[in-house]
Amino acid sequence: MPRLEEHCWSCSCSTTVKTKELSSASWIVCKTGEMMSIITSVLSQSYGSLHSLQSANLIRRGLVLFIVGVVLALVLNLLQIQRNVTLFPEEVLDTLFSSAWWIPLCCGTAAAVVGLLYPCLDHHLGEPHKFKREWASVMRCIAVFVGINHASAKLDFANNVQLSLTLAALSLGLWWTFDRSRSGFGLGLTTAFLATLIAQLLVYNGIYQYTSPDFLYVRSWLPCIFFSGGVTVGNIGRQLAMGSTEKPHND
Amino acid sequence: MTVRERLRQNISAAFYRHGLLCASYPVPIILFTSASILTCCYPLLKLPLPGTGPVEFTTGVRDYSVPSHESQGNLSERPDWYRGPPVAYIQQVLVKAAVSPWDNSLVPVDVFRSPLGRVFSLLEEIRNHIYTDRSLEALCLQVTDLLPGLRRMQAVLPEHGCLLVSPGNYWQNRRDLFDADPDLLKTVHQHEPKGLHTSATLKDLLFGVPGKQTGVSLYSKKRVVTYTITIALSSYDARFVASLRARLKLLHPSANCTLREDHMVHVHFKEEIGIAELIPLVTTYIILFAYIYFSTRKIDMVKSKWGLALAAVVTVLSSLLMSVGLCTLFGLTPTLNGGEIFPYLVVVIGLENVLVLTKSVVSTPVDLEVKLRIAQGLSNESWSIMKNMATELCIILIGYFTFVPAIQEFCLFAVVGLVSDFFLQMFFFTTVLSIDIRRMELADLNRRLPAEAGMPPPKPGPLRPRETPPPPRPSPHTITLQAPAFRNLRLPKRLRVVYFLARTRLAQRIIMVGTVIWIGILVYTDPAGLRTFLAAQVSEQSPLGEAGLPPHLGVAPVFPGGDPTSTLSVLPAPEPTPLPENQSQGHRAARPGVAPVSSPQITWGPEDEELWRRLSFRHWPSLFSYYNITLAKRYISILPVIPVTLHLSPQEAIDTRHPQDTHHAPPPSIKTSDLQTDLTLYKVAALGLFAGVVLVLLLFCLYRVLCPRNYGQNGVPHGRRRRGDLPCDEYGYSPPISEISPLLLRGHSMDIECLASDGMLLASCCLAGSACEAESLLGADFREPGGVAMGGPDVDIFPIRRRTNPARPALFGDQPDLTPLIDTNFGSLPPSQTLSSSGFDFGELVEKAYQEHEPSPTLAFPPSPPASQQRRRSLGDQPVLPPELPPQSNGDWDSSVWAMELRGNLIATGRSSGKLEIYQCDLICCSYFLVSISLMKMEIVAARLNGSLDFFTVEINKPLGLLQYRGPPGRGSLPPSPCYSSEDVISCQLTRSVQCAHQKPITVLKAAAGRVVTGSQDHTVRVYRLEDSCCLFTLQGHSGGITAIYIDQTMVLASGGQDGAICVWDVLTGSRVSHVYGHRGDVTSLVCTTSCIISSGLDDLICIWDRSTGIKLYSIQQEVGCGASLGVISESLLVTGGQGCVSFWDLNYGDLLQTVYLGQSSEGQGVRQLLVLDNAAIVCDFGSELSLVYVPSVLEKLD
């Protein structure tokens, strides 16, 4: 762990940019703890009833969500590791994998959990999500999410408050455009709150540090990213759930 | 009316008018739109092309001063990057060294060993040069250590000191190491990367000249070694540089050197996109393409999906281009990285409107005019489009007020993009859509045209008996169409993937594209020096060769466009730049010399001035990046080179030899070296040829593996499947051969028109007006000649009037119960006296019905022919028939049967002449002018063309006073059937008549579960109660005449219309459950199962729909003319007719289970009618024969 930390520090120092990769990293970190217990229980449960279609379906969805989370984490991490333009790709990949091999895994796990929670919550609340349920809309949502990350990483804002406010507005816009359900809003808020809390704890314990913390120990725009990430993953999860319930009909 | 409502109406009206305009003048509008797109994109020409190539700017050396940071407006020719000091000044010392005179005692290593050895003394000289107490140390660019990942280069590249690179770095700038090195070439090449490389290699970096020109090779023909000593200076001291130049020139004078020394070149490097930035970029683009894919996939029901998808993408892209162009026009230069924000812009603008438009237009009624459809579709969606656009504009406006420059700029682009996108949608896409819809209608028209044009009077083939018969003609349509389409199959996924690969030839295409890209990369990077070689070849062979050219023109300036004359003069050479002057001069020097030994000559040409241009454009960035210095968005200044010429004596070369140098092979003669190059060429050619052959073989193998055998054999006409050929789909997949053989029932002289059955009895009638009845009983097992045991029905065929002994097929020769035959050939028999004795003049009755067009309250019961009720149980017992005559008079002579129903031994037929006839095997009832009848227990419902509906009651054994007739008792034994014997008195009474059931002719009538459902051309469906003929519901929802209705005992009602729509209704409430558009043209038949709806249409397509959701599951393309023949055997077994065969399908998966051929001569006879009996047998018409197929094996397979 010390080696890792040092690496992150050197990275941030050398590139002299805001190392925002920590955001997604810490998000994942905090998620992992809570997720692991849930995942193990889910796994054992699913092994018990692997033969039933329901759980196989669940596992499939979880797997897809996990992969999506991993890919998004890798990409967004790369987006945030700023450009020390080097001609040696192995160098970049090296830093990526050595510093954060567990980041994508945690990210994927968190994505799987959140993505499975959303349709489950819909089901329990008894209000199925019908707003813009199609893959094109989901793709649009992912693109906007990546765009928000892009903006947080690359745009130069006058001050942090402005940046945070802009991102908050963008996240709310994302929710309004693609979700518009109370459960989605609530779950997104919960996700953001929990994730930020865990990030705070992690930073407090010295596992990570932010270059310029302005909200206790972390960056103030962190909750916005968590919120929009939760909404996006939930969108994917809902679409997957819908597709899987419709499948048997088709076949 | 609120403001909102009014606004909405206005918008809707405006869109309606606009839609009319667009659909009316498509071509001018498209031209206008294209012109405006081009106009708006015109300012884009002024923008620099995107790319990462470096940009140059040349200034004079004399009056050079470091540019200030502030931009000077007056110096317009200065690029805006030319501000502030450069990263470094590059001073190169270009050394050309040769051992001269050359003599035979020298070995090849001598060519470069001693010249390279001189680099150390030169380095010493340069390092120690001091001009007025300023040394190189003070001026040069100090570098720290290399990047951590470059350990293996640490020994070679300088660290912690001046950035000064030369070939001496290979030996740590130490002469003793150099002298001790036994193999120089190995040392030089050990750092070279293997394989293809695009960036600068270490050899290039150290030598400072392209690898080919160094001359460090055992087989160099020129024997001149060229290398540079590269010095990076952090600050420019003109006097120091000048003194260094003078000093070196003094020490090593270069004769005939005319290099210009008055220009320094500033090279600006764009931002390099590293892999770290590339991955997110690529990801966003992948997401973008996924978005576009998922969006355009929803385009449906149009003529060309691809065309419309392309139009949608073009709309979005050109709106983006327009926005950039307009912004540039108004002085907003985009500072954002276009490639990065582009996907987000597309996502913001979106394809939604386009899709919504398409869907809305497509869902308008098909029978409207194209213009009106477009206009209606537009106006339907106008409000939502406007609302969405307003919302998006508002959001963007909010974004604009964040006052973050980047976001503001993005918003500005997005606003302009949105507006131009709206413009394009309204003008471009709508017009394209109208053209597409029109094309689709034309295609539909073409499909239908031959149907109406090709109605030959002599023998019209009956096709669709229930299909809207406005003229009382016996045959509605004859459709002769072109090649039949093949069935769509749902195959296993694995096979589908393989077939997809085969169909699209994906593998081959990928290989081809890969090869092309590979060749492109090869040509681009030119690792083999092919370009140089070719250029040299061409220039040598060209008659204009350099002998004819003045020397200064023989070599074009490095950058074309410098002076046009030179490029013009070397036109024969395709690539004038790489032509090495000294090389060809070396040749020239070598050739006239008869002596085998040629002394190398050192020449200086203009191309030596800027030798660095031949290097990779990433040469300098990679050199600096080793020290973690980025050149992105910065520039370096390259000072004019200092030429140094070294002439070494042979003695010196021999002195510096390493002991191992002489072990090398003697120098090859020039001739052999020539030969060798030739050989190399041949080798390359042979290798290429071999690779090509291997590639072709590989492709061939792939082709054979992936493609079916008959793939691509377009010459074989698929139009008619030959007997014995299995029906195969386009993939060559053929279902298993059936072991089911059909039973043929013969007796009709012409094509069979109608079929009816109640499970035990089978009735058919043909064009000739005759009706045949066959009883199908599950009786004794019988054995087929082939030896396959199967349960087969006994078929008793009773001749009623005329005994026709059919020529029995040999197949059934041993069948005991197939002999009897019923042939009620009413039309062909002359009227006899029995009819006249009955006292009913049918001719008059018919005439009356014709004239008055109203149901006659009296029903005529003709004398029932008393014969032939025998159920033959014994073989060979010939039924003796009294010479009965048909009850019809000659009024029925040429009328054909339009509708027939059979239930419990009663047959009711409706004739085109308007008669309703009821037979009890041979009892004939009454007649009317009707189109459709339905027979339920004791009720007969008859629908008529004039829109009225008659309910009859059939009573048995009740001698009614009115119009009853007692038939003579039959002579034979009574059948053990649950039905009525012919001794019973059957009376038929018109109980009720609904005069104006429909406004227009009734086209279909179905009855079940106590309900009578009629469909009419007036676009409505009516539901009547059977008991009191009370109209319960009038169901409206179709936009065309009703052509098909399905109702069953569970009160499921589905209807299909001429508009191709299928509606499912709730019979209890009269509400519409679902409404789908599935067919182009009429829906011809409808069947429901518990889970799905099966419909067939005029387009010969059978669609299977999910009953609860109304989603189309899949469709089966039928052969032409056989579209309406389908039946459901069990919940999961569908049977369809084809050309001379019937096919069984698994309903759940759409898989073809079996195909059964009906006869030996299947040529051209399609199965048009198909009936499923209760005992898992199907009956289908087959020309003039009936075919009975029993399908136990299929059922077993399913179970």
How near does any CA of chain B get to the CA of A24, in Å?
15
Burial track B398-407 (b if 16+ CB lie within 10 A, e otherwise): ebbebebebb
pLDDT of residue A66: 92
pLDDT of residue B70: 63
Query: Which residues in chain B have their CB less than 8 angstroms from residue A144's CB?
Result: 344, 347
Are the beta carbons of A88 and B290 separated by less than 8 Å? no
pLDDT of residue B1128 exceeding 60, the answer is yes
The minimum CA-CA distance between B693 and chain A, rounded to whole Å, is: 36
List the beta bridge partners of residue B940: B935, B952
Residue A231 touches chain B, beta carbons under 8 Å? no
pLDDT of residue B312: 86
Minimal CA separation from B415 to chain A, in Å: 17
Number of H helices, E strands in chain B: 27, 44
**Per-residue pLDDT at B865 exceeds 80:** no
Residues in chain A within 8 Å Cβ distance of B274: 83, 85-87, 89, 92
pLDDT tens digits for B833-852? 333 333 333 333 333 333 33
Return residue ranges of chain B for CATH 1.20.1640: 3-50+304-446+495-522
Would you call B1141 exposed, middle or buried from its count of C-beta atoms within 10 A (0-12, 13-18, 19+)?
buried
Q: Is B97 left (phi over 0), alpha (psi -120 to 50) or beta?
A: beta
Q: Do B344 and A147 touch (CB under 8 A)?
A: yes
Minimal CA separation from B160 to chain A, in Å:
19
Return the HEC string of B212-275: HHCCCCCCCCCCEEEEEEEEEECCCCHHHHHHHHHHHHHHCCCCCCCCCCCEEEEEEECCCCCH
Interchain proximity B280–A75, CB inside 8 Å = yes
Is the Cβ–Cβ distance between B1097 and B1086 less than 8 Å? no
| Cis ω for the linkage preceding B886 (within 30 of 0) | no
**ipTM for the assembly:** 0.72
Please indicate if any CB of chain B lies within 8 Å of the CB of A249. yes
* Cβ within 8 Å of residue B16, ≥6 positions away: B375, B376, B378, B379
CA distance B432 to B280: 35
Q: Does A155 touch chain B (CB under 8 A)?
A: yes
Query: Who among A87, A142, A165 is closest to B287 (CB)?
Result: A142
Predicted confidence (pLDDT) per residue in A194-230, tens digit: 988 887 887 787 666 666 667 777 777 888 988 999 9
- pLDDT band of residue B489 (cuts 50, 70, 90) is very low
Cβ density class B418-434: b for 16+ within 10 Å, e for less = bbbbbbbbbbbbbbbbb
Residue B124 pLDDT exceeds 90: no
Q: What is the dihedral of CA B495, B501, B504, B510, to 10 degrees?
A: 170
A residues 65-104 closer than 8 Å to B (CB)? 71, 74-76, 78-79, 81, 83-94
Contacts of B280 in chain A (CB under 8 A): 75-76, 78-79, 146, 150
DSSP-derived 3-state class of residue B145 = coil
Residue B787 reports pLDDT greater than 60: no
Cα–Cα distance, B154 to B152 (Å, whole number): 6
For residue B344, the chain A residues in CB contact (below 8 A) are 143-144, 147, 150
Residue among B25, B36, B33 at smallest CA distance from B434:
B25
Q: Max CA-CA distance within chain A?
A: 57
Distance (Å) from the alpha carbon of B309 to chain A's nearest alpha carbon:
14
Which one has a higher pLDDT value, A113 or B523? A113
Contact between A83 and B280 using a beta-carbon 8 Å cutoff = no
- Judged by phi (left if over 0) then psi (alpha if -120 to 50, else beta), residue B769 lies in left
Protein fold of B3-50+304-446+495-522 = Multidrug efflux transporter AcrB transmembrane fold (1.20.1640)
**B656: Cβ contacts below 8 Å, ≥ 6 apart:** B113, B114, B117, B179
Asked whether B20 and B374 are in contact (CB, 8 A), the reply is: yes
Report the pLDDT averaged over residues B730-751: 53
Question: How high is the pLDDT of residue B998?
Answer: 77
Domain boundaries, chain A: 65-243
Average pLDDT over residues B422-438: 88
What's the pLDDT band for B389 if we cut at 50, 70, 90?
Answer: confident
Name beta bridge partners: B1117: B1101
Count helices and strands (H / E) in chain A: 9, 0
Residues of chain A with Cβ-Cβ distance to B618 below 8 Å are: 87
Residue pair A114/A191 in contact (Cβ under 8 Å)? The answer is: yes
Predicted confidence at residue B749, as pLDDT, reads 62
Of B272, B275, B1106, the CB nearest to A89: B275
Number of Cβ pairs < 8 A linking chain A and chain B: 116
Chain B: residue nearest A148 by CA? B344
How close does chain A come to B294, measured CA to CA in Å? 5
Judge contact between B1150 and B1105, C-beta under 8 A.
no
Is A151 at the interface with chain B, CB within 8 A? yes
Cα of B631 to nearest chain A Cα, Å: 9
Q: Residues B884, B885, B891, CA angle at the centre, nearest 5°?
A: 170
Contacts of B851 (CB under 8 A, 6+ apart): none
Under an 8 A CB cutoff, do A83 and B276 touch?
yes
Q: Is the pLDDT of residue B414 over 60?
A: yes
CA B75 to chain centre: 55
Q: Which amino acid would we find at residue B170?
A: Y
The model's confidence at residue A3, banded by pLDDT at 50, 70 and 90, is: very low
B789 Cβ contact list (under 8 Å, min separation 6): B781, B783
Cβ neighbours of B149 in A, within 8 Å = 88, 90-91, 94
User: The whole model's pTM is what?
Assistant: 0.46
Whether the predicted pLDDT of B942 surpasses 60: yes
**Contact state of A94 with B632 under an 8 Å Cβ cutoff:** no
Cβ separation of A169 and B287 shorter than 8 Å? no
Q: Could you report the per-residue pLDDT of B618-641, keeping only the tens digit for each?
A: 778 778 878 878 777 788 888 888
CB contacts of B351 in chain A (<8 Å) are: 136
Instruction: Judge whether residue B680 has pLDDT over 80.
Output: no
Question: How far does the CA of residue A143 sit from the closest CA of chain B (Å)?
Answer: 6
What confidence score (pLDDT) does residue A190 get?
Answer: 92
Nearest chain B Cα to A92, which residue? B276
Asked if the Cβ–Cβ distance from A134 to B1149 is below 8 Å, we say: no
State the DSSP string of B561-624: TS-HHHHHHTTTSS--TT--HHHHHHHHHHTT--SS---------GGGTTGGGGS-TTHHHHHH
| Chain A residue with minimum CA distance to B295 | A136
Are residues B404 and A93, on separate chains, in Cβ contact within 8 Å? no
User: Given CB atoms, is A7 within the 8 Å cutoff of chain B?
Assistant: no
Which pair of structure tokens corresponds to residue B235?
């600050």
Q: Which of A131, A140, A149 to mutate to test the interface with B (most CBs of B within 10 A)?
A: A140
Whether B737 shows a pLDDT value over 70: the answer reads: no
CB under 8 Å to B866, separation ≥6 — which residues?
A: B882, B884, B967, B968, B969, B970, B971, B982
Amino acid B685: pLDDT = 82
CA distances from B165 to B112, B126, B1113 (A): 18, 12, 71
CB contact under 8 A, B147 and A169: no
Q: Which amino acid is at B630?
A: T
- Residues of chain B contacting residue A92, judged by C-beta atoms under 8 Å apart: 274-276
pLDDT band at B878 (very low <50, low <70, confident <90, very high): very low
Residues in chain A closer than 8 A to B279 (CB atoms): 74-75, 78
Cβ of A146 under 8 Å from any chain B Cβ?
yes
Nearest CA in chain A to B624: A86
- The minimum CA-CA distance between B1146 and chain A, rounded to whole Å, is 11
- The CA-atom distances, in angstroms, between B538 and each of B543, B586, B991 are 10, 17, 104
Contact predicate B1055/B1021, CB 8 Å:
yes
The three-class DSSP label of residue B73 is: coil
Q: Give me chain A's average pLDDT, please.
A: 71
- Max mean pLDDT among B65-79, B716-730, B1098-1112 falls in B1098-1112
pLDDT at position B35, please? 92
Which of B295-304, B619-628, B721-730, B906-915 is least confident?
B721-730
Phi-psi group of B872: left, alpha or beta (phi > 0 → left; psi -120 to 50 → alpha; rest → beta): beta
* pLDDT above 80 (res B704): no
Question: From B298, which residue of chain A is nearest by alpha-carbon distance?
Answer: A136
**Of B199, B290, B403, Cβ closest to residue A139:** B290
Q: What percent of chain A has pLDDT over 90?
A: 7
Give mean pLDDT, residues B766-772: 49
Residues 6+ apart with CB under 8 A from B666: B107
Is B294's CB within 8 Å of A144's CB? no
CA distances from B37 to B22, B41, B42, B347, B424 (A): 17, 6, 9, 21, 9
Of B276, B295, B352, the CB nearest to A78: B276
Chain A segment 120-139 residues within 8 A of B by beta carbon are 134-136, 138-139
Mean pLDDT of chain B: 66
Let me know the angle formed at the C-alpha of B1137 by B1133 and B1142, rounded to the nearest 5 degrees: 70
Main-chain dihedrals φ then ψ at residue A226, nearest 5 degrees: -60, -45
